[in-house]
Structure formats: C-alpha cells, structure tokens
C-alpha cells in the first residue's frame, strides 16, 4: 500500500461509545487510491489502540445481481456483459459516488456485481443497471442484494460451485478468475476486494481437495447430450450440428464422439477454430454464414456462442423443417443471450430446450454430491470465520505501527540523554540506571494519566482495556 502519513492534533468525539467524551488525540492517516481511513491513537495513551475497531468506519462488501435462482433465462440474457462491455461497466460503476471497488461476474447463469460500496452507492448501482440496459422498474424484483458476512459466504459458495445450477461444477472458478483479471485490467480492483478474491480462490481449492464436491462431474454439455440420447435412443444414424467453438462446445463434441455420433458439424464465426475443433473429433467445420444450408442435415442442434443476437433465426428453422419433411429436430440453446430466436420452439417438429430446461436433467445427476455439499458448507463456515479474523486483525496494524514509532522516538531521546551523561563522565551503571528509569517513566506517563482520569470518571471499559492490553493480573484490582 502507498502510505501517506500525517500527524496532527484533532478532536475526536466517540459519543456512540460509553464513558467517552472529547479527547484530544493525534491521528495517523493511511491512504491509497482506493481507500482513505483515519486511524486514531492517543500519543499519550496507547490504551486507545484496542478500541480502533470501534473508532474506524470502512465501506462494506456489497453484492448486487441476479442468477438462475432469482431470474429465468429471458431476464438474465438482458443483463449479460461480455468483451469491452465489462471494462466499460466497471469503470462506470466505480465512478458512482459511494462505490470504491468493483468486480463483475457475468456468465450464462448469473450477472453479479461484487463491490466495496456504502448503501447509497449500492442504490446508485441499481439505478445505473436499470438505465444501462433500459429496463423497467419491475425488473428490480429479480435482483438480490447481500452484504458483509453474507456477501463473503455467497462469493465463497459461487467459487466452489455450491451456488451453481450444476452443483460443484468447476467452470465457475475459472470464470471468477477471469472476472478478477478484468477488474485488475480496468483498475477497479482495490485492496479489499483483491484480498477477498485471493482468499476465495484458496478456499475453492481447499473445498475441492478436501471434499467430493467435484466427483462424478455433471456439466451442461453432458446433460444436453444425455437428454438428446433419451430423445433418439442412440446417435449412430444421426447428425449433430454444434454452433460455437468454446469450452462448452468442445465438451459437447467430446461427449457426442464418445457416443458414436454419425456425423458432426461445428459452425463458428472463426472457421479456423471450428476446423481445429471438428478435426479432433472426426467432424466437419463451416462458417456461420453456411448454417442455413446445413440445418436440414441436423437431427441434433446445440448452440453455445457469445453472440448478442440470435444466430439461428425463425425463417432458418422453417426452411429446415420443410426440407426435412417432418423429421424432428432436437435443439438445445445453452447460450445467454439465447442463440435460437424466440418462437422456434413453437414450430412443429422442433423440440427446443433452453439452459433452464436442462436443470431437471442436471438435478437427477447430482444427488451423490449433496452429502459433499453439506460437508463443504461446514468447511466454508470455518473459512469465513478465518477470513474475518484475518481482516479484523488488520485493523490493529496502524495502531501497532504508531505505537512502535512513538516508542522508538522515546528510545532515541533517552538513548541520546544517556550518551550525554556518559560523555560527561558518569559511570556506565549510572547511565543505564537513568536510561531504564527514564524509559519506564516516559512510556507509562500517558497511560497512567489516562487511567487516573478513567478512575475519576468510573470508566470501567478503559480500565478493563488496560488490564487486557498489558496482561495485568486480576489480583491488582483496588
């Protein structure tokens, strides 16, 4: 952290805390570009150090978003951010008053903003999102918000796959790491979110190592192929057309190939990528511009692109159905926003499933993970407490630094005086006797004055803090 220190006399009023009145103290400021927090300590009384947690105020962690638990795909697809939109959104968010840091996680199943913000900042974010995507106010009913410890728990659960449609799926951790890097590149990741995200990644690794949450993997790709297999009862005589060439399409091609698909086509905007992927599984590649001519061949159509607009239009499918002479097409649209135009599912002989429709298939395949999820939740509780303890311990760091600096100044002063005594011819033993007595007197003067005043005011909190801070025996009570 870049630190700028400023020591000045200020008046500190802590009216919220019992037995406190106006106390003249010094202040030390720790500042970086994201955060400016005032840490106070009494130059004459280090007792106040143990009260730093009550004296400081830090913007809380907040989450605003929606996911497959709160909104259907028709709504989720309206708030997907990808490409350059992510950086633009992050910069816009942190420009809002009351928003200091931001990370944006946007996938087919969730769009969630992880921010360091006050409540007013969170409310401005909500209004910004509605305006950014031209959404009416009723859309707000699908948004959820959580903060502080509940927000930490949510992020941990997301990273571990415990909040996923597919319980324990591993892809979400990679997506969260991508979101972390996007925020770094956009300059919207500060110290608080940075520490939280790094701890989150470590927690996710621990959960996957120490539990069976990732055993017997079920993915959207495997669920789609499983559903298609139920529809056709075998693939040897059928043709599949995959649209896209990302990780999900690669998994689809792998599953279809392992089940002996008759023919496999891969269509993508980047035909070289399509050719590379199709070649690994004995398939054929084509550009998106040739989809219309290939659709009549497809018994199975599965789409997963990042296109903001549909790539399979209604007129495409009408023509394909006519050419197929009523032979059915099994179609799955995994993309968000959807790749297959709304209305295609209403056509006769087209059996269209969205990513939300796959949920039932997925639920059947993850029952053996539920016990592991319970175990993972217990570990998460321990990790949340550990993280909070780490963060809370940081509150004392400025006070410890100030205490050491103050003590060093006293030590240097007394040391100089002791050296002068030696130079005047005093014996070493007399100089040591003076130095140790002077150190004790100077370092205990402030606490002693404050404790006498605390006694006069019956300030038991401050007296008790002194006992704790100096590890004093209980028998010293008067």
For position 376, what pLDDT does the model report? Answer: 86
Above pLDDT 90, what percent of the chain? 57
**What is the pLDDT at residue 469?**
85
The neighbouring-strand residues paired with 285 are: 266
Q: What is the pLDDT at residue 387?
A: 87
What residues have CB less than 8 Å from 50, skipping those under 6 apart?
396, 465, 468, 469
Q: What share of the chain is helix, strand, coil (3-state, %, to 5)?
A: 55, 15, 30
CA-nearest of 58, 79, 51, 56 to 67 is 79
Of 84, 71, 52, the residue nearest 112 (C-alpha): 71
CA 243-252-180 angle, to 5 degrees, is: 85
The answer to whether the peptide bond before residue 337 is cis (omega within 30 degrees of 0) is yes
Return d(Cα 318, Cα 212) in angstroms, integer: 46
pLDDT at 255 over 60: yes
User: In the prediction, which pLDDT does 368 show?
Assistant: 59
- Given this model, what pLDDT does residue 475 score? 53
Select which of 50, 108, 160, 303 is catalytic.
108
Instruction: Tell me what pLDDT residue 52 has.
Output: 36
Percent of the chain surpassing pLDDT 70: 84
Between CA 159 and CA 43 the distance in angstroms is 44
Rounded Cα distance, 115 and 113, in Å: 6
Give the gyration radius of the chain's Cα atoms. Answer: 32
Compute the distance between CA of residue 27 and CA of residue 12 in angstroms, rounded to an integer. Answer: 9
Which residue(s) pair with 286 in the sheet? 267
404-448 pLDDT, tens digit per residue, is 898 899 999 989 998 999 999 999 999 899 889 989 998 888 889
Question: How confident is the model over 129-143, as a mean pLDDT?
Answer: 89
pTM, entire model: 0.70
**Model confidence over 259-275: pLDDT tens digits?**
999 999 999 999 999 99
Note the pLDDT tens digit of each residue in 38-55.
223 333 333 333 333 333
List the strands of the sheet with 99-106, edge to edge: 99-106, 110-117, 61-67, 144-147
474 contacts 467 by C-beta, under 8 angstroms: yes
23 or 407, which is more confident: 407
- What does the pLDDT read at residue 216? 63
Q: What tokens does 202 get?
A: 């470590």
pLDDT attached to residue 393 = 78
**Spatial distance between the Cα atoms of 443 and 437, rounded to a whole number of angstroms:** 10
Residue 347 and residue 193 in contact, taking contact as beta carbons nearer than 8 Å? no
Catalytic residue at 303?
no
Is 107's pLDDT higher than 90?
Answer: yes
């Amino acid at each position: 952290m870049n630190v700028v220190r400023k020591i000045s006399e200020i008046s500190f009023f802590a009216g919220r805390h019992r037995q406190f009145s106006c106390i003249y103290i010094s202040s030390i400021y720790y500042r970086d570009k994201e955060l400016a927090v005032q840490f106070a300590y009494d130059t004459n009384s280090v007792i106040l150090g143990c009260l730093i947690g009550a004296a400081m105020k830090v913007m809380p962690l907040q989450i605003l978003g929606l996911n497959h638990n709160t909104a259907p795909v028709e709504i989720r697809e309206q708030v997907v951010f990808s490409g350059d939109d992510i950086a633009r959104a992050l910069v816009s968010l942190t420009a809002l008053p009351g928003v200091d840091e931001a990370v944006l996680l946007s996938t087919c199943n969730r769009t969630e903003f992880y921010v360091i913000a006050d409540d007013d900042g969170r409310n401005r974010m909500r209004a910004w999102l509605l305006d950014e995507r031209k959404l009416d106010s009723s859309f707000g009913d699908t948004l959820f918000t959580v903060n502080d410890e509940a927000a930490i728990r949510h992020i941990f659960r997301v990273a571990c796959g415990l909040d996923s449609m597919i319980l324990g799926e591993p892809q979400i951790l990679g997506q969260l790491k991508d979101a972390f890097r996007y925020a770094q590149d956009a300059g919207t990741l500060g110290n608080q979110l940075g520490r939280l995200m790094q701890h989150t990644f470590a927690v996710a690794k621990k959960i996957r190592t120490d539990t069976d949450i990732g055993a017997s993997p079920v993915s959207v790709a495997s669920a789609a192929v499983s559903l298609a297999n139920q529809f056709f009862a075998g693939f040897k005589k059928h043709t599949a057309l995959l649209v896209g060439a990302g990780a999900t399409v690669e998994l689809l091609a792998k599953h279809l190939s392992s089940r002996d698909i008759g023919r496999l086509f891969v269509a993508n905007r980047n035909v070289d990528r399509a050719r590379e992927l199709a070649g690994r599984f004995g398939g054929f590649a084509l550009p998106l511009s040739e989809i219309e001519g290939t659709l009549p061949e497809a018994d199975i159509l599965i789409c997963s692109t990042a296109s903001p607009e549909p790539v399979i239009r209604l007129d495409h499918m009408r023509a394909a159905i006519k050419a197929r002479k009523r032979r059915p097409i099994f179609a799955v649209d995994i993309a968000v926003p959807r790749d297959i135009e709304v209305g295609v599912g209403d056509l006769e002989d087209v059996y269209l499933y969205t990513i939300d429709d796959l949920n039932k298939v997925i639920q059947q395949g993850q029952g053996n993970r539920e016990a592991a999820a319970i175990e993972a939740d217990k570990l998460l509780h321990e990790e949340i407490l550990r993280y909070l303890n780490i963060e809370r311990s940081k509150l004392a760091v400025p006070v410890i630094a100030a205490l050491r600096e103050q003590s060093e100044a006293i030590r240097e002063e007394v040391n100089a005086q002791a050296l002068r005594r030696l130079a005047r011819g005093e014996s070493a033993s007399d100089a040591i006797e003076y130095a140790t007595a002077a150190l004790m007197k100077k370092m205990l003067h402030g606490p002693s004055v404050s404790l006498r005043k605390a006694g006069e005011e019956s300030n038991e909190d401050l007296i008790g803090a002194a006992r704790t801070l100096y590890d004093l025996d209980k028998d010293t009570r008067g």
